[in-house]
Structure 1
Amino acid sequence: MRIGTSISTKKLDDACINEYKIPLILMMENAVLSAIKHLDINLYNNYIVVSGVGNNGGDGLGIARQLKARGKEVKVFIVGNIEKITPCSKTNLEILKAMNIPYIIIDTKDENINLLKKLEADIKNSHVLVDCIFGTGLEREIKGIFKDVINVINENKNLVYSIDVPSGINATTGEILGSCIKADKTISFEFYKRGFLKYETKKYVGNVVVEHIGIPEDILKKYDDNEYITSMNFVKDNIKDKNKFSFKSDFGKITIFAGSKGFSGAAFIASEAAIKSGSGLVTLVCDEDIQDIISSKLSEGMTANYKEEDRINKLIKTSNAIGFGCGMGDNETTLERLQYVLNNSDCPVVIDADGLNVLKNNISILKKYKNRIIITPHLGEMSRLTGKSISYIKGNRLDVAKEFAKENNIIVLLKGYETIITDGKVTYINPTGNSAMANGGMGDCLLGMITSFVSQGIEVFEAVICAVYIHGYIGDILSKKMYTVNATHIIEKIPSIMKKFNIEINL
């Protein structure tokens, strides 16, 4: 699923009209028919359509016509200076008149107290309100009659379905422009709007569905911003098939540097997750004083301690992927070990937790490494790495992650709701995972999964995307029956979920 902005939306419209000679009225009708599929007309009979005078308003007028044609009760309110109605919207208005569908104009020039009361009463007596006041082009603050109408809707609504964007959101930035419709569902066209990714918009957009309206694929590719939401099909297309001729050597050899006194759990979780994710050989390197503890639990993995220098050197040189950082401690020793691993390895390295903490004043290390580096920070770790406040990163997650990845030539996995994965050029937003997973050990589990997927020969960027998706996917399944989902719960389910995906690959 592509992510787009108001700019990319405008470019698409212009290209369709000017390059492909597709009339705007035809695209509007495609939008209308696409939206109708998501208005739950099998459940509800009474609809209010509130339209503006721009092209988004034209979508609303077309939707009112289609609802009426399907036998629904429809009342239409048009908000704004009717003299400024766009040509396509005017065409749909003329059709509305010809069909004798009643409508009320709430004009910016008039005193509209009685009309607002009429709107309030009709909303209370309806099942669904369809919001088509403003579209993706809105950038100014909402004031006057528009604000009054939005307030009436929010205060009296039953269900609100917004078309393309809830009226009042900046589609690009997610900024709430003074006042905004609180939608239960948003039916967006061609793109998942970038502004919807901002945490503050979640209470306004509701459930988001994205519909195609017949724009040719080569135009979509031409104006693609290289920002996507991960789909299950993407994951299935990229995870490695296990066929009957496979050997353990076909699924990678990995080394994980993790754990210290008091933090043996982090080391175990990361290693066990890598094993369960399908790596051929997994070795944990840890402090000597926790090695016996881990060895007794890690039945299918091997362990080494830092005194075994020759063995560690061989592991570093022969690994297909390395995971580093979980539970190691934020200290000079961890930094020295990270530098040693980076300077002597020839494979991708995944850095998490204390591996990130020791980088906060040593970012230049990242640029010196000749192979791929993946970092997996949460907001606090990203704040320490970038020097930016957590509140700033929250409001600008996508841009902060992209800039840091590009500047340091690495892959950034910025954790949180709708985790971001980017190499600075291409960005994926992960749709899986939930708050039941918000507890210690989840990051250790994810590090093990990512390191495993990389070692198995999946392209590095794709491996990260797939691991994050499956990690959250398992959490979503478990959270349906569990209040809290722990890392060990995820690990137990990895083999069965991977098998499910693997079977579907071969169908």
Structure 2
Amino acid sequence: MRIGTSNSTKILDSACVNEYKIPLIVMMENAVLSAFKHMDIENNQRYVIVSGVGNNGGDGLGLARQLTAHGKEVEVFIVGKIEKMSECSKINYNILKAMNIPTNIVDEENLEYLKCSVKKSDIVVDCIFGTGLEREIKGIFYNVIDIINQNKNKTYSIDVPSGINATNGDVLGICIDADKTISFEFYKRGFLKYDVKQYIGEVIVEHIGIPEYILEKYDDREYITNLDLVKNNIKEKNKFSFKSDFGKVALFAGSRGFTGAAYISTQSAVKCGSGLTTLVCEKYVQDILSTKLCEAMTLDIQNKEKVKKLISECDAIGFGCGMGDTEDTYTKLKYVLENSKCPVVIDADGLNCLKNKKDLLEKHPNRIIITPHLGEMARLTGYSISHIRDNKVDVAKEFAQKYKTIVLLKGYETVITDGNYTYINPTGNSSMANGGMGDTLLGIITSFAGQGMTNLMSAVCGAYIHGYIGENLSKDLYTVNASDVIAQIPFVMKEFVK
């Protein structure tokens, strides 16, 4: 699923009309028919359509025609000056007048009548403002939106809830509180903002007949990950496969009091299908875990000759879980990067020790994956957590471009980007919000990188599967722990391959 902004919507519309000669009224009618499918006409009878005078309003006027044709009671309210109505909206407006569908021009004197109609309706359809809105809402528009929010039964918004900036998610003074948003062609980037989730309701993205090659030509290269993408990247095991075909990986993890992080990251790589997995750790961690990790090997990090040989032979390395934010951790990371040639996935204390030494990332471009949460990203970038939360796509892309790394910025709707292509992960939920989940994710991503996925797809697929398992388990479990996820990895891998 593509993600788009108000600008990309404008560019796409212009290209369709001017380059490919697709009349705007055709696209509007396609939008009307696509939105009509989600009007729940089986369960509702009375509809109030509230339209502006732009093309988004034209969608609403077209919907009024379709709903009337299907036997529904429809009343239309238009907010704005009729003389400023767009050409396509005028066409639909004139059709409504010819069909004698009740149409009201909203002013201060009939706001009470609008309020009564909204109260009586089963569904209010919001088509006041579309994706181009950037100014703060005031006056009659403010009053209309407030009346809808205070008196509605349900509200369905077309393309974007009126009052929300489609690009950045800012609420421009007031916005429609939608129960459902039917968006066209793109999942709007503004919907990714945490604070806007309460206003957009269920989001449905519908296509309106724009050919795929046109969409590709004007693609912003920002997507929501889907299941097919993940399935297409998983490596199958066939009857000729050997363990060497599925990668040799090493996990540098653990310290005194944090042996669990070492165990979780290593075991998740094992369960994800790595051919050979080795935990590299301090001797006291090795003594605790060498018998518990039955399918993985362990290596004392002080055995420098063997460690150097292992690093040089690895197909992927995971680094940082439970190691401690110390100068020693930085020294070990520097050694790993300087003596390896494979992808290196860095998490937790591996990231924390870089906060004032990011030049190490610059020295090893195009082979590092970092997996910070908001706090770790704040320490790496110097931005506040609130700024990162509100601008997570831009912050992640900026960092990825500058340091030529893959950035997986964890949290609700995790962002994964190489600075060029960006994916938003739709899986996972708050039942997974507990210790060890990041260690599990690092093990999965390291395993995928070792199995030959690209660095970007390792992170994209790792995040998806990690969250997918957690979501499924949360149907029966109040809290989903790392060990629960690890136990399910082989089953989900098999499910996806099949």
Where 2:290 maps in the other structure, the secondary structure is: helix
Overall identity of the aligned pairs, in %: 67
Q: Match for residue 226 of structure 1?
A: 221
1:153 offset after TM fit, Å? 0.6
The corresponding residue for 1:173 is 168
Q: Is the 8 Å Cα contact of residues 366 and 405 (structure 2) preserved in structure 1?
A: no
Cα deviations across residues 381-409 of structure 1 (Å, max 9, x unaligned)? 00000011111111111111000000001
Q: Is the 8 A contact 1:325 1:352 kept in 2?
A: yes
SS of the residue aligned with 1:282?
Answer: strand
Contact 1:291–1:305 (8 Å) recurs in 2: yes
Q: Is the 8 A contact 1:165 1:187 kept in 2?
A: yes
CA–CA distance in structure 2, aligned partners of residues 96 and 475 of structure 1: 50
Q: Deviations over 1:60-79 (max 9, x none)?
A: 00001101111111111111
The residue type equivalent to 2:9 in the other structure is T
CA contact (8 A) 2:318 2:443 kept: yes
* 2:86 equivalent to 1:91: no
> What's 2:68 paired with?
68
* 2:26 paired with 1:2: no
CA distance in 2, matches of 1:412, 1:453: 16
Query: Who is 2:31 aligned against?
Result: 31
Partner of 1:463: 458
**Is 1:146 the counterpart of 2:146 in the alignment?**
no
The answer to whether structure 1 residue 247 and structure 2 residue 239 are counterparts is no
Tell whether the 8 Å contact from 1:47 to 1:129 is kept in structure 2 after alignment: yes
The answer to whether structure 1 residue 130 and structure 2 residue 125 are counterparts is: yes
Query: Which residue of structure 1 lines up, in the alignment, with residue 47 of structure 2?
Result: 47
| Corresponding residue number in structure 2 for 1:482 | 477
- The offset of 1:216, in angstroms, is 1.7
Query: Deviation at 1:19?
Result: 0.9
Does the CA-based 8 Å contact 2:123-2:154 persist in structure 1?
Answer: yes
Residues 205-239 of structure 1: CA distance to partner in whole angstroms, max 9, x if unpaired?
Answer: 11111111011222211211111110111101111
Q: Contact 2:400 / 2:406 at 8 angstroms: preserved in 1?
A: yes
Deviations 1:14-46 (A, max 9, x none): 111111111111110000000011111122222
Report the alpha carbon displacement of residue 290 of structure 1 after superposing the two structures with TM: 1.6
CA distance in 1, matches of 2:263, 2:43: 51
Shift of 1:371: 5.0
* Partner residue in 2 for 1:451: 446
Partner of 1:317 in structure 2?
312
Query: In structure 2, how many angstroms separate the alpha carbons of the residues matched to 1:41 and 1:232?
Result: 30
Deviation at 1:52, TM superposition (A): 0.6
CA contact (8 A) 2:142 2:174 kept: yes
Residue of structure 1 equivalent to 2:322: 327
SS at 2:169's partner residue? Answer: coil
Amino acid aligned to 1:86: S
AA in 2 matched with 1:64 = A
Deviation at 1:131, TM superposition (A): 0.5
Cα deviation, 1:56-113, whole Å, max 9, x if unaligned, reads 0000000011011111111111111122111111110111111111111104xxx33x
User: Out of 395, 402, 424, which is 1:429 matched to?
Assistant: 424
**Counterpart check, 1:410 vs 2:410:** no
**1:59-458 residue pairs with structure 2 within 5 A?**
59-107=59-107, 111-112=108-109, 115-369=110-364, 372-458=367-453
Q: Is the 8 A contact 1:250 1:456 kept in 2?
A: yes
Amino acid at match of 1:449: I
Q: Distance in 1 between matches of 2:426 and 2:192?
A: 11
Q: Partner amino acid for 2:128?
A: I
Q: Distance in 1 between matches of 2:398 and 2:73?
A: 51
Amino acid at match of 1:424: G
CA deviation profile, 1:224-262 (whole Å, cap 9, x unmatched): 111111011110111111112211111111000000010
Please report the TM-score for the alignment, with normalisation by the length of structure 1.
0.97
Q: CA deviation at 1:263?
A: 0.1
- State whether residues 366 and 404 of structure 2, in contact with CA within 8 Å, keep that contact through their aligned partners in structure 1: no
Deviation at 1:314, TM superposition (A): 1.2
Whether the 8 Å CA contact 1:423–1:461 is kept in 2: the answer is yes
User: What is the identity, as a one-letter code, of the residue corresponding to 2:68?
Assistant: K
Query: Any conservation in 2 of the 1:123–1:153 contact (CA below 8 Å)?
Result: yes
Gaps of 5+ in 2: none
| Per-residue Cα deviation, 1:100-129 (whole angstroms, up to 9, x for no partner) | 11111104xxx33xx222122222221111
CA apart distance, 1:307: 2.1
Give the whole-Å Cα distance in 2 for the aligned partners of 1:210 and 1:432.
17
1: CA distance between counterparts of 2:67 and 2:300? 70
- C-alpha contact 1:60 1:130 (8 A) present in aligned 2: yes
Instruction: Return the letter of the residue paired with 2:92.
Output: N
Deviations 1:286-340 (A, max 9, x none): 1111212111211111101112211111110111000000000000110000000
Which whole-Å CA distance do the structure 1 matches of 2:116 and 2:485 have between them? 50
Conserved 8 A contact 1:346-1:371: no
Read off the aligned partner of 1:468 and give its amino acid letter.
Answer: A
**CA RMSD of superposed structures (Å):** 0.9
Give the deviation of 1:160 after TM superposition. Answer: 0.9
CA contact (8 A) 1:242 1:502 kept: no
**Residue segments in structure 1 that go unaligned for 5+ positions in a row:** none
- Seen in structure 2, the aligned counterparts of structure 1 residues 407 and 167 have a Cα distance that, compared at 3 Å, is same
- Distance in 1 (alpha carbons) for counterparts of 2:457 and 2:422: 11
SS in 2 for 1:268: helix
* Aligned: 1:56 with 2:51: no
- Residues in 1 aligned to 2:230 and 2:72: alpha-carbon distance in whole angstroms: 41
Work out whether residues 374 and 388 of structure 2, in 8 Å CA contact, stay in contact via their aligned partners in 1: yes
Q: How many residues align?
A: 498
Q: Evaluate the alpha carbon distance shift between residue 215 and residue 371 of structure 1 in structure 2; reply closer, same or farther with a 3 A threshold.
A: closer
8 Å Cα contact 1:347-1:371 kept in structure 2? no
